[in-house]
Structure 1
């Protein structure tokens, strides 16, 4: 959520809610997101949200296009796919059009569309987003940290895998079903990651950054028991601990630490000067593990929600 909220009216403003975007609309939204990212220093919409801009309609996903004077100046995405949690949203206003109440208009439209049962991400937790959340009557309940550490002049120890565990690269098409099952089990508590589908996996495999050589699978007796999917952000010089998961029955034996080291060593070998990852602040065990590995908090994303 990137905006301010002055509450001022804007006579020519209109909001169009759609289940899918035309290619031209998707390009216009991506252009808006790119400009917001340039000005704000971070993406205003998550990777999943950006992937959902293209292609056929996705069940439970709505796109809100805010235009003023015939120009696209704001965008919001609402996803209502979780059977338990309130619908989740992200929104952004073009940097050149902030201060006219567009953020408040989008937020009000999201509240109406969700039946006033809403969760909204504020990437970076900027003061303007916090103010907008307050104006909309939302309270903060989740903190997602981006942590980073240097990979230069770093001696990472050899990973010590548990007995009987081997590690190999992911094979597209061959490992999809098994990975989706273990991912769902490992992230059963995590609504975004744990609900990934084959279509979501296919979207990521089609991305320019996808490299199966950096997607590590841990197996024991032919069964997938954990994984570390890394991601390279070449332009930013960042290597990401993209997704790290251990099957519930294999947790507690040091596999997570070994997989973390496997991925970090791979990213260092790719010449990435810095590693990054995302972790929920209330996941004290994971935060502690990453801090022991030298990671420190770089920035924070906040999620706000209506009172329940």
Structure 2
């Protein structure tokens, strides 16, 4: 590992960010899913973000001997309560040479050995590295999928509680109300509940964003729930991107109704034949709702952490 050099940055130049995204894409093609989450990929652009650090591992090129981007790690320490969260990867052609261990050691050093680390897809190599580092499994995020039918009769019917009306998101009008409800609905969730105005703006600026698939539920003038859908055109997938309901409205069927409405949009309006979503394995009530709607587990992401 004497030929490896790791550089820590708080902001990436545009060209370097593009190179990291290409590296993530190459690894995803080999592994079946990106090693860096959507939130992490958004952090690669748009300037410095509080608490976010980028670790770049460079080694001599096998062709020219010049420095080559071989691995990448991102450390997000923006959460004031939780340990920093990290994601890391090595180019598929440069694995099994100790680069993953070098990056992981750099992450531990950067966080004072207090860190949570994602292993997207839960691949054996990632599990083995976590074990060697003495990390303990503490979170399982499931990706669920279900087929979608072209006939409305074969799709779940949205039945909303009395007094609830629904419309779609209006950019420039609904951001503050949505952020407030999202924070309340996901107060227990370390990633979703902490989204800021900047985080929301980043997502609204993405090419996939479509307000016609972003449903808001109101009781009178007050926003009480939402279902934001997402389309992955390259994969032919529709995603239940996020469903949130105010705590005071939970248990009355609003979440199920919003989910059903979004599934109909993905199937009937967008013509998609498969829906996916992510849910924490220990969120028993949400898992039960989705299983009753026909979802089954497709794959899992695992999070490990250092002993506290």
With normalisation by structure 1, the TM-score equals: 0.96
Residue of 107, 122, 128 corresponding to 1:131: 128
* Segments ≥4 residues shifted beyond 6 Å: none
Equivalent residue, structure 1, for 2:282? 282
Structure 2 residue matching 1:209: 3-state secondary structure: coil
Separation (CA, whole Å) in 1 of partners of 2:283 and 2:162: 27
The Cα offsets for residues 49-86 of structure 1, whole Å up to 9 and x where unpaired, read as 00000111000000000000100000000000111111
Q: Is the 8 A contact 2:121 2:302 kept in 1?
A: yes
SS in 1 for 2:127: helix
Aligned mates of 1:106, 1:57 — CA distance in 2: 21
Distance 1:153 1:202 in 2: 33
SS in 1 for 2:48: coil
How many residues align? The count is 299
Q: Partner residue of 1:4?
A: none
Q: Establish whether residue 150 from structure 1 lines up as the match of residue 147 from structure 2.
A: yes
Quote the Cα distance in structure 1 between the aligned partners of 2:44 and 2:6. Answer: 17
> How many Å apart are 1:153 and its aligned residue?
5.0
> What's the secondary structure of 2:191's corresponding residue?
helix
The equivalent residue for 1:64 is 55
8 Å CA contact 2:158, 2:258 repeated in 1: yes
Alignment correspondent of 1:164 = 163
- 1: distance between equivalents of 2:83 and 2:55? 18
The alignment partner of 1:29 has SS state of: helix
Give the drift of 1:156: 1.7
The correspondence of residues 173-188 of structure 1 with structure 2, limited to 5 A, is 173-188=172-187
Aligned to 1:293: 293
Partner of 2:86: 89
Q: Can you list the C-alpha shifts for 1:193-237, whole angstroms capped at 9, x where unaligned?
A: 000001000100110000000000000111000000000001100
**Residue number in structure 1 paired with 2:266:** 267
1:152 Cα deviation after fit: 2.7
Aligned to 2:45: 54
SS in 1 for 2:40: helix
- The within-5 A match list for 1:165-244 is 165-244=164-243
Deviation at 1:282, TM superposition (A): 0.6
CA distance in 1, matches of 2:2, 2:97: 10
Please tell me the root mean square deviation across aligned C-alpha atoms, in Å. 0.8
Q: Aligned partners of 2:304 and 2:225: how far apart in 1?
A: 31
Whole-Å separation in 1 of the counterparts to 2:47 and 2:168:
31
